Amino acid sequence: MNFHIPTAMLLTAITTLIMGLSLAFTVTDYPRALQVPIRQWVRSLLVSPFAFLLFALRERIPDWASIVLANVLLIVSTTLLVQALRSYNRLGSLRAWSVANIAITLAAVSVMTYVWPSIAGRTLLVAGQLAVLFVFGIAAIYRPADQVTNPERMVASFLVVGVLVMILRMTYASDPLMTTLLDSTPMQSIVFTYGALMPVIATSGFLLMCGQRLNKDLARLATLDPLTEVFNRRTMTDLANKAVAASKRHGRPLSLLILDIDHFKRINDEFGHEAGDLALCRFVELVREMLRSSDVVARIGGEEFVVLLPDTDQASAAVLAERIRQHLHATEFTVSGWPVPLRVSIGVGSIGPEVSNLESLLREADHAMYEAKRTGRDRVVLAADLRAASKSES
C-alpha cells in the first residue's frame, strides 16, 4: 500500500492546528514565567499547518507558495519551537541568527526553484537547516545535563531522531524514485511519518515539562516568602528543629538572630507600601551579603526576620550581628531619589545549658531583640547578657 503524501500532510496540518488552538486557550492558566515559552510553542504549532497545507497542494498552486513559502514557514515553525525550549530554560534569544537563517532559506529556495531548479538542492538545504535547528533544541535542553528531567529527555530523544532522519534525507537527497515532493517513496514515508508524529509527541513532552516545572515552582513557593524569596516561618521552624537536634546530637554550637527593621511603618506611611516592599527586598539582599551559604534566612513576620547560624557560638554570632548592623548603616537605600535609612534591632540567642530547644531559643532571642528596641533601636543585644543581668539583680 502506497503512503499517500498529500493525505498525510493534510492530516498533520489539521492535527497540529487543533493542538495549537487548544493550547492557545490555556496559556493564561499558567504562571507568567511559563507563558512566554508556551506562547512560542503555540506559534510554532499555528505556523506549521500552513507549511504542510502548502506542501499538500503542490502542483495545484504556484511554486512560490507550494515550494518557497512552504519551506520558509517550515523553518519559521521549527525556529519557534527551538526558541520555546530556550525560553523554558531561560536561555538567550536567537533572534538575529534566526532572521538571517530564514532570509537565507527564502533566497536559496527561490534560486533553486526559479534560477537553477533542483529538488536535490532544496532537499539538502532544508533538511540540513532542520537538522541544525534540532541540534539547537537538544542543546537548549541539556544545559547542564544533570538537571534534565524525564519529560525533557523525551523531547530531546525525539529531536535526536529528527536529526538522524534529516541526515538520512540528506544522504538520499538525489532519490531516483522521487521526481516531485508528492511521490511516495520509502524515504518520503520515513520523513513524513516523522513529520506527522513530531507535533503530537513533542507537544506532549513539552506540556509534561511545563507541568513538572509548575509543580516544582508550587512546591518551592510553599517553602518561601513570596516577596523576599527567603524561607517562610513554617519552613524555618522545620529547618531550625533539625538544626537544634543536630547541634545537641553532635555537641556543635548553634546560634540564632532575630532582626526587626526599625521604624518600618514610617517607610510605608511616608513612601507607600511599594517602597516598603522594596525596602524589605533590599534588606534581605544586604543581610545575605554577610552570611555563609550554610546560614538560613527566614521571614517570620511583616518586617521581622530570623537568621539561623549552624556551627556558630554566641561570640561569633554577636560579631556577625554587629557586622550586619554596620553594613546596613554603610549602604544607601533610596526611594524616588529620597534617602531612606535601613536600621535594624537584633537579638542574639545561642543553644546552651539554659537553652536546649527551639522554643526557648526563639523566646530568648526575641526578648533580646525587644530589649534592643526598648533601649534605643539600631543595636545588638545578647540574650545571655540579659540572663546575666537578671541573675545579678536577683
Nearest to 350 by CA among 296, 298, 394, 307: 307
C-alpha separations of 299 from 25, 182, 237, 294, 373 in Å: 37, 65, 11, 17, 18
The alpha helices in 251-313, defined as continuous H runs, are 264-271, 273-288
The alpha helices in 57-91, defined as continuous H runs, are 63, 70-88
C-alpha separations of 394 from 355, 365, 375 in Å: 20, 21, 21
CA 316-291-371 angle, to 5 degrees, is 55
Distance CA 161, CA 198 (A): 10
Q: Which residues are catalytic?
A: 303
Give 315-320's long-range contacts (Cβ < 8 A, gap of 24+). 316/253, 316/255, 317/255, 317/256, 317/257, 317/348, 317/350, 318/348, 318/380, 318/382, 320/257, 320/290, 320/291
Chain-centre distance of CA 25, in angstroms? 22
The alpha helices in 57-149, defined as continuous H runs, are 63, 70-88, 95-110, 119-141
- Which DSSP string corresponds to 185-243? -HHHHHHHHHHHHHHHHHHHHHHHHHHHHHHHHHHHHHHB-TTT-SB-HHHHHHHHHHH
